[in-house]
């Protein structure tokens, strides 16, 4: 008995020592410097905001509607991830006459998504805003910056003077270009061609809403993508009802089909903005 006791003590001490060495190694590994920058995903171009109302337009010398000093809000929404967690992000705006200016800063820990909204018109963006820069910092101090261009607004009203079968024209200064097309006929459709112009873009459908307005199906390149409902308790004009990103330089055909909702079969198509 007297010869085995020291061996047991030595074994216990050895086990304790090995545990301490393992903890020390783990601590050193955990203390390794994090040099990996955050992953930040930002769309190439901003989207329109469904449910918001555009400003009114004026008519130029060629009879086309355009936004003078107003337009609609556009929005960037981005995601951000990092193994150390996101501890801060900032946003810089670039103005053509002033350069970069810090306009937003957020210290919300471990946030994973954020958004920035700006106001745009036909010929320039509000106050000559032409770029935004998103800067994301992880909790180890690493930084990722992403620059994106802001976008102006074009108006598309390509149905021209000829009114398609099943539709009628409503003249109203409340509408973009002072007119809309309306129908209460089931399955009456209106197609519009929009071109990607070689870059990513967002196109939005502008319609009127009200107590008598109903549902419509939307098709992109002959594929149904969604159903929208233009009902509202009060009449509201120039409402963005649908937004979609388009890519490439090919033409895309967007078709709106009236579903003639029971008790409120009418829809009014105003314009597309992109």
Looking at domain 155-273, which of 2.60.120.260, 3.30.70.890, 3.30.56.10, 1.20.1300.10 is its CATH number? 2.60.120.260
What is the reported pLDDT for 2? 47
Q: What are the tens digits of pLDDT across the range 166-208?
A: 999 999 999 998 999 999 999 999 998 887 665 668 899 999 9
What is the reported pLDDT for 137? 95
What is the reported pLDDT for 1? 46
What is the reported pLDDT for 21? 52
- One digit per residue, pLDDT tens: the chain, 274 residues? 444 556 655 555 555 555 555 555 444 444 568 899 999 999 998 999 999 999 988 877 777 788 877 788 999 999 999 998 999 999 999 988 788 989 888 888 788 999 999 888 876 555 678 899 999 999 999 999 999 998 888 888 756 678 889 999 999 999 998 999 999 999 999 998 887 665 668 899 999 999 999 999 999 999 999 999 999 999 999 999 999 988 777 888 999 999 999 999 999 999 999 8
Q: Any idea what the Cα angle at residue 211 is, between residues 273 and 265, rounded to 5°? A: 80
Strands 47-48, 72-81: parallel, antiparallel or unpaired by DSSP? antiparallel
Terminal-to-terminal C-alpha distance of the chain: 91
Q: Is 44:248 a contact under the CB 8 Å cutoff?
A: no
Task: Return the HEC string of the chain.
Answer: CCCHHHHHHHHHHHHHHHHHHHHHHHHHHHCCCCCCCCEEECCCCCEECCCCECCCCEECCCCCEECCCCCEEEEEEEEEECCCCEEEEEEEEEECCCEEEEEEEECCCCCCEEEEEEEECCCCEHHHEEEEEEEEEECCCCEEEEEEECCCCCEECCCCCCCCCCCEEEECCCCHHHEEEEECCCCCEEEEEEECCCCCEEEEEEEEEECCECEEEEEECCEEEEEEECECCCCEEEEEEEEEEECCCCEEEEEEEECCCCCCCEEEEEEEEC
User: In the chain, what are the domain boundaries?
Assistant: 39-149, 155-273
Q: Tokens 């130029």 appear where?
A: 60
- Give the global pTM: 0.82
Q: Which CATH class is domain 39-149?
A: mainly beta
What is the reported pLDDT for 108? 80
């Amino acid at each position: 008995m007297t010869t085995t006791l020291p061996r047991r003590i030595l074994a216990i001490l050895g086990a304790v020592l090995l545990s301490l060495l393992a903890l020390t190694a783990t601590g050193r590994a955990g203390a390794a410097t994090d040099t990996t920058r955050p992953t930040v995903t930002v769309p190439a171009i901003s989207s329109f905001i469904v449910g918001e109302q555009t400003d009114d337009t004026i008519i130029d010398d060629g009879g086309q509607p355009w936004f003078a000093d107003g337009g609609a809000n556009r929005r960037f929404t981005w995601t951000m991830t990092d193994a150390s967690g996101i501890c801060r992000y900032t946003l810089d705006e670039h103005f053509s006459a002033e350069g970069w200016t810090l306009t937003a800063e957020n210290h919300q820990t471990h946030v994973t998504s954020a958004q920035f909204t700006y106001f745009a018109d036909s010929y320039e963006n509000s106050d000559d805003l032409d770029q935004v820069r998103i800067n994301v910092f992880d909790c180890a101090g690493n930084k990722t910056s992403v620059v994106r261009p802001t976008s102006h607004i074009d108006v598309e009203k390509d149905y021209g003077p000829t009114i398609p079968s099943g539709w009628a024209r409503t003249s109203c200064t409340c509408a973009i270009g002072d007119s809309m097309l309306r129908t209460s006929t089931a399955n009456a459709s209106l197609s519009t061609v929009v071109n990607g112009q070689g870059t990513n873009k967002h196109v939005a459908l502008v319609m009127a809403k009200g107590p008598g307005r109903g549902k419509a199906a939307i098709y992109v390149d002959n594929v149904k993508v969604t159903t929208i409902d233009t009902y509202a308790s009060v009449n509201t004009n120039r409402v963005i009802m649908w937004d979609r990103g388009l890519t490439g330089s090919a033409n895309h055909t967007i078709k709106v089909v009236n579903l003639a909702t029971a008790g409120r079969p009418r829809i009014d198509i105003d314009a597309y903005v992109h």
